[in-house]
Structure 1
Amino acid sequence: MGSVWDRFGVRIVYDSVLGIDAKVSEIVEGTTWRWPFPSSWELMDLIDSTPSTFLPTGESDDVSWCPVANGKFIIQSTWNSLRQHFDPVNWSKLIWGPHNIPKVSFVVWMAILGRLNTGDMLKIFGVTQSAECAFCQHPCEDHNHLFFECPFSKRVWSCIKGTINVDWPSIHWNDLIQLIDKSVRGKSLGNIITKLAFTCTVYQLWIARNNRVFSKDMVLEQVVIKYGILALGDYPNTMLKPAAADVRNESSQIVGTWFIGKQDSECVPYNLRVEYSVYGALFFE
């Protein structure tokens, strides 16, 4: 039933000479009310205003979860009651959803928010004295430079865009996110592959950059391209792999280029196959 304080207020508790922690059950006896002596007008009004049909049931108290209408506890309601609520961003489906790779989505999400520890951020935090780009030694490595303006990244993107037959313009990072999100909406196989090609490339560029910064592993752009394609090529074997007949009947250039539905190394285009062992992964020739 809860506390008397919460139900009736501080004045009633004071006038009834009940303790602050008193429960409603202390003024209940079976199926009737056991009101304290009416020592004030407020207490008398409460007693008089209580409908005669409003009686205790005499049953045991039940625990009720207030955030939901049915009173049943679920974790989702707890999260929704604790978190701040904001309008969904228009690019959310670009990185979240059933056809995305969680670890890739997380890195791309951080990149879109500008929260990755790029050179300019590390300099602001006082971690390093230089914000130099790990790929081209440009004096300021921010998100836009690292992923799109750096010559190293441009060469990677040039190959990826040619492979999936798209022509994304050279615009600012935030504007490109909006453009790509609009162009890959829908559940067609081509849109899914294009979306994954973008997110996997961003992820692999970030991994290659970190390896240069922290491990001094100067991986060539050709290897970044091949590993990104291999990572994407493995993914259709689980979530995107259609029936063989559907693949044979698909006329999209994307499907023909990426060899959707084939196993393991066969997902890598023939013109990009060499043998490499990078980041613990093997590239086939």
Structure 2
Amino acid sequence: SWSWRQILLLRPMAREHLIYKWGNGERFSLWFDPWLQGDSIHVLYGCRVMYDTGLGIQARVKDMLREGEWCWPQVSGDLIEIQQRVCGIPVSTNLDIIFWDKVGDTFSTNRAWQAIRARSNNVDWHDVVWHPKRILKHAFSLWLAIRGAHRTRDKLVVVGVTHTAQCIFHCGETESTEHLFFQCPFSVNIWREVLKLCNITRLILPWANEVQWMKEHAKGNKFDHAL
């Protein structure tokens, strides 16, 4: 899917935060994990050494150990060099471990996200959108609205997705975020009923004013505040 392809594009960035702690070699790929002084055998020497050893791509580091000693085949210059380089790496009975950012820290999606995301300044409407009692799809829709990112018809007609920018509720006006949520007669009636449920009596405001009103009034844990 598109989402997974985009996630996979982040692999080089994520790799910078991984720390490989060498142990007994049972878990690390002989060819593709960066266990050799921060690099993988494949990156350093290519595919030829894989062929020269006679081992498949699924080989583990432990496959190059014999009775606790390194034992790389001495059939090519690259393999001789690898044998010389690994002689300084002690063989352990501990398990291979991968840490995130520093030794002792395990991987979590939250730590990964905090490490690779582009940070920006805090916004004053954060608690309006991401409050503890949020319904995720509602919060996401509100987040899009505040950022002006909803694909309303006034935007879709520009890129040729639709042939008309008229409101989907057939009121005859141009459909924009402002109109769709707060100016269309259909939406206005819905908002009046919602405000009535919250015992709030006031006019429906323009979008920017509604956001400001929410920031000032949507505080606390009461039902009407969360709603």
Closer/same/farther in 2, CA of residues 188 and 139 from structure 1, 3 Å limit: closer
What CA distance in whole angstroms lies between the structure 2 residues aligned with 1:129 and 1:82? 40
Larger Rg: 1
- Match for residue 212 of structure 1? none
Q: For residues 127 and 3 of structure 1, what CA distance do their matches in structure 2 show? A: 52
Whole-Å Cα distance in 1 between the matches of residues 102 and 215 of structure 2?
A: 34
2:92 is equivalent to residue 59 of structure 1: yes
| Structure 2: segments with no counterpart, 5+ residues | 1-21, 23-34, 40-76
> What fraction of aligned residue pairs are identical, expressed as a percent?
26
- 1:26 and 2:86 are equivalent in the alignment: yes
- Offset, 1:161: 1.9
Amino acid at match of 2:92: E
Aligned to 1:142: 176
- Contact 1:5 1:22 survives alignment (8 Å): no
Distance in 1 of aligned mates of 2:221 and 2:38: 56
1:69 Cα deviation after fit: 5.3
Unaligned runs of 5+ in 1: 7-16, 31-57, 197-285
The Cα of 1:100 is off from its aligned counterpart by 1.9
Instruction: After TM superposition, list the pairs within 5 Å mapping 1:233-248 onto structure 2.
Output: none
User: In structure 2, what residue type is equivalent to 1:110?
Assistant: L
1:166 aligns with one of 186, 200, 213: 200
User: Which structure has greater helix proportion?
Assistant: 1
> For residue 86 of structure 2, what is the amino acid of its counterpart?
E
Per-residue displacement from partner, 1:111-142 (whole Å, max 9, x unpaired)? 22222221102212211221111225334210
1:93 aligns with 2:94: no
Q: For the aligned residues, what is the CA RMSD?
A: 3.3
Higher relative contact order (CA 8 A, sep 6+): 2
Contact 1:123 1:129 survives alignment (8 Å) = yes
TM-score (norm 1): 0.45
Instruction: Tell me the alpha carbon deviations over residues 14-34 of structure 1, each in whole angstroms, 9 at most, x when there is no partner.
Output: xxx988x9599624276xxxx
Output the CA distance in 2 between the equivalents of 1:4 and 1:115: 46
Tell me how many residue pairs correspond in the alignment. 156
Distance in 1 between the 2:139 and 2:171 partners? Answer: 27
- The amino acid across from 1:186 in the alignment is G
Does 2:115 align with 1:81?
Answer: yes
The one-letter amino acid of 1:158's match is R
Distance 2:216 2:83 in 1: 58
The answer (yes or no) to whether the contact 2:191–2:204 under 8 Å persists in 1 is no
Q: Matched residues in 1 for 2:85 and 2:93: separation?
A: 10
Q: Which residue of 2 aligns with 1:179?
A: 213
